[in-house]
Amino acid sequence: MGFVKGLKCKECDKTYPKKALHVCSFCFGPLEVDYEYEEIKKVISREKIESRQKNMWRYKELLPLDGEPTVGMQVGYTPLIKANNLAKKLGVDELYIKNDSVNFPTFSFKDRVVSAALSKARELGFDTVACATTGNLGNAVASQAVQGNFESYIFMPANLEQGKVIGTSIYGTNVIGIDGNYDGVNRMCSEIADKYGWAFANINIRPYYAEGSKTYGYEIVEQLGWKAPRHIVVPMAGGSLIIKIGKAIKEMAMLGLIDESDTTLYGAQASGSSPISTAVKNGWDHIKPVKPDTIAHSIAIGNPADGYYSIKAINESGGWAEDVSDEELVEGIKLLASTEGIFTETAGGVTVAVTQKLLEQGRIPRDEAIVISITGNGLKTLEAVLDKVEKPCVIKANIEEFNALMEKKEICTA
Ligand X SMILES: *Cc1c(COP(=O)(O)O)cnc(C)c1O
- Rule CB under 5 A: is residue 12 a binding residue for Zn ion? yes
Please state the separation of Cα 258 from the chain's center in Å: 23
Alpha-carbon distance of 328 to 394, in angstroms, equals 30
- Pick between residue 44 and residue 271 the one whose CB is nearest to ligand X: 271
- Pick between residue 145 and residue 299 the one whose CB is nearest to ligand X: 299
- Rule CB under 6 A: is residue 235 a binding residue for ligand X? yes
- Rule CB under 6 A: is residue 131 a binding residue for ligand X? no
- Rule CB under 5 A: is residue 24 a binding residue for Zn ion? yes
* Count of C-beta atoms within a 10 Å radius of residue 163: 19
What does residue 31 show for φ and ψ, rounded to 5 degrees?
Answer: -95, 150
Q: Which residues pair with 23 in a beta bridge?
A: 30
Is there a contact between 115 and 70 (Cβ–Cβ < 8 Å)? Answer: no
H/E stretch holding 117: helix 110-123
Is there a contact between 2 and 60 (Cβ–Cβ < 8 Å)? Answer: no
- Rule CB under 6 A: is residue 332 a binding residue for ligand X? no
Q: Segment near ligand X (CB under 6 A), from 165-173, 192-200, 236-244, 277-285?
A: 236-244
Alpha-carbon distance of 366 to 355, in angstroms, equals 11
Residue 79 near which of ligand X, Zn ion, none (CB within 5-8 Å, type-dependent): none
Residue 254 near which of Zn ion, ligand X, none (CB within 5-8 Å, type-dependent): none
Position among 11, 127, 285, 293 found at the interface with Zn ion (CB under 5 A): 11
Angle subtended by helix axes 307-316 and 240-254, to nearest 10: 50
Alpha-carbon distance of 226 to 12, in angstroms, equals 34
Alpha-carbon distance of 243 to 75, in angstroms, equals 20
Position among 239, 275, 302, 332 found at the interface with ligand X (CB under 6 A): 239
- Rule CB under 5 A: is residue 9 a binding residue for Zn ion? yes
The least CB distance from residue 217 to ligand X, in Å, is 12
Position among 129, 199, 236, 257 found at the interface with ligand X (CB under 6 A): 236
- Rule CB under 6 A: is residue 298 a binding residue for ligand X? yes
- Rule CB under 5 A: is residue 43 a binding residue for Zn ion? no
- Pick between residue 240 and residue 274 the one whose CB is nearest to ligand X: 240
Binding site for Zn ion (CB under 5 A): 9, 11-12, 14, 24, 26-27, 29
